[in-house]
Amino acid sequence: MCGIWALFGSDECLSVHVTSAMRIAHRGPDAFRFENVNGFTNCCFGFHRLAVVDQLHGMQPLRINKFPFLWLCYNGEIYNHLALNKKFGFKPQMAVDGEVLLHLYDRFGIKKMAALLDGVFAFILLDTEKKKVFVGRDTYGVKPLFKLSTDDGFLALCSEAKGLTEITHAMTSPASIEQMEEFHCCTDGPEHAVCDSLGTLPSGFDEDTVKSNIRTLFENAVKKRLMAQRRIGCLLSGGLDSSLVAATLMKLAKEETAADSPDILAARKVAAYIGSEHHEVNFSAEEGIRAVEEVIFHLETYDITTVLSTGLNLQQTVIHQASQALNCCTDEEHGRGSQVEAEAERLLLVATERREALKAELERLTRDPTGQKKPLSAPGPSGPSASKGSVTLQELRLPLKADFVCSIANKPEATKHSFFLMLRAGVENTVATPLASTHRGLSGDTLSFPTSFTISDVSSDFEIDVEVYSLVQRRDVCNDKKKKASKSKVNLHFNFNGVCDTEACFNA
């Protein structure tokens, strides 16, 4: 998903309002842009991008040389953009799917433009020649869009209501934030069917014809959603609908991707049957309750079914970390046994460890509602209290045993060892270093890590835990295939006592 935001007719400095657009930054982690409209100082677009199609040229607001008077911000996917370009002879400048809206609007006008679109979308289209703003959503309202308007012509738009709640404007009557209604309906059949690749389906109500038509339509519905230029995954509940989608996805895309399951037994059976790579995210009742507030914040609804169907924020975190890892291994060169696979393993390890640390802290707080940790030692005799300051660890070095260094030097291609450190000072202060490989990063018998770790506002007693992780990648001599990396961990614990300087550095 992406986040779109726009203001038209503002009577205040736009630099004040754009902070509201940052409240939907979670919708577009890849890039963001704010842009004033030329010649219209009281108009502005904001865009947070999740790059799905044309990652090089898809930044918004979207403009092309042929129509310099058109400005477009949209969120969603236009499934039939290639078919529309072919049918009407459009010559797009980019591969991005949304460009077809500009060509359709110029040739047919806004109503037919929207009716010809097959997809899920919300758009804001500005025509500076006609001085008009057009706003629309897909037929079934899959993509959200909210508006704030006043009686003097001021208009603010955003993918989520939270991006509008802090906007101020002088007005004679109160303004309200409303969700946009559907832009057009399909009572007489969708106009975009004229360029549907399916053609005319067989007519009749006999059982074989009905079954065949349902299968054809269902497979086409899944197929047209595979237009993304990034790895595709699906959420699997083990029920009939999600199981059919997952099975059809595997059949069409032949991509093994991570799935997510609240109904563990049913999802395992389906995943085993269709041959997908299955990952389970389990969480306790306490963890679920802790995540509810943030889930409702992002969904902007208290509807019980909708909140539960998201799988809660815990699944979102794991999916994000897993997608980062999966994106590291997309071909044979960067697959099993490679340095990139080791980085993928590191990402998943860090995500898992942080989650376990948060879970342990939640259990501690449950046992001790006051949230107070026990003192590390009995208080000493009264005296001048030590001042608080910050502590920084830098120039981190990991010494290795001499016999180990000699063994890997004698067989450099047989086994690759990678290490990283995780430093903790409580749950809130956790840092993981980058990977350091013995293949390239070894200096004598020591590995160095450039990471700097700082904890602030500490007194004379503080603790730092250093965990050393080792990822081992071995080559199978018999068939020359790389094996999956094995993992190990060593815990080190440091307890510092004494007066803490304002800035202290330690070598580990």
Q: What is the DSSP string of 123-160?
A: EEEEETTTTEEEEEE-TT--S--EEEE-TTS-EEEESS
pLDDT per residue as tens, the chain (508 positions): 799 999 998 877 777 788 888 999 999 888 889 898 888 878 899 999 988 877 777 899 999 999 999 999 999 999 999 999 999 999 999 889 999 999 999 999 999 998 899 999 999 999 999 999 999 998 888 899 999 988 888 899 999 999 998 888 766 666 677 776 655 555 566 777 777 767 778 888 899 999 999 998 998 888 888 887 677 778 888 888 889 988 888 888 654 443 444 456 777 788 888 888 777 666 655 666 667 777 777 777 766 666 666 554 555 555 555 555 444 444 444 444 556 666 667 777 777 777 777 777 777 777 775 555 544 444 445 555 556 777 888 778 888 877 777 777 776 666 778 888 888 887 667 788 888 887 766 777 788 887 777 877 777 667 788 888 887 766 544 444 444 444 455 555 555 543 333 233 333 3
DSSP state of 482: B
220, 248 contact by CB (below 8 A): no
Active site residue 44: no
- Rounded to whole angstroms, how far apart are CA atoms 87 and 194? 9
What is the predicted pLDDT for the residue at 503? 32
Burial of 77 (0-12, 13-18, 19+ CB in 10 A): buried
- Rounded to whole angstroms, how far apart are CA atoms 135 and 128? 14
257: tokens are 């991707």
What is the predicted pLDDT for the residue at 127? 95
What is the predicted pLDDT for the residue at 432? 83
What is the predicted pLDDT for the residue at 299? 74
- Rounded to whole angstroms, how far apart are CA atoms 40 and 31? 24
What is the predicted pLDDT for the residue at 95? 86
Name residue 423's beta-bridge partners: 431, 466
- Rounded to whole angstroms, how far apart are CA atoms 440 and 447? 10
447, 398 contact by CB (below 8 A): yes
Q: Interior CA angle at 76 toward 72 and 81, to 5°?
A: 75
- Rounded to whole angstroms, how far apart are CA atoms 413 and 41? 63
459, 388 contact by CB (below 8 A): yes
Alpha-carbon torsion, ordered 8, 12, 16, 17, to 10 deg: -30
- Rounded to whole angstroms, how far apart are CA atoms 353 and 53? 33
User: Phi first, then psi: what are they for 260, rounded to 5°?
Assistant: -130, 135
Give the residue carrying structure tokens 């832009």: 183
- Rounded to whole angstroms, how far apart are CA atoms 452 and 436? 15
- Rounded to whole angstroms, how far apart are CA atoms 199 and 193? 8
Q: Which of 2, 44, 158, 328 is catalytic?
A: 2
Sheet order of strands, 3-8 included: 31-37, 40-49, 3-8, 155-158, 146-149, 177-179
Put simply, whether the predicted model's pTM sits higher than 0.85 gets the answer no
Give the residue carrying structure tokens 């000699």: 406
Report the Cα 363 to chain-centroid distance in Å: 28
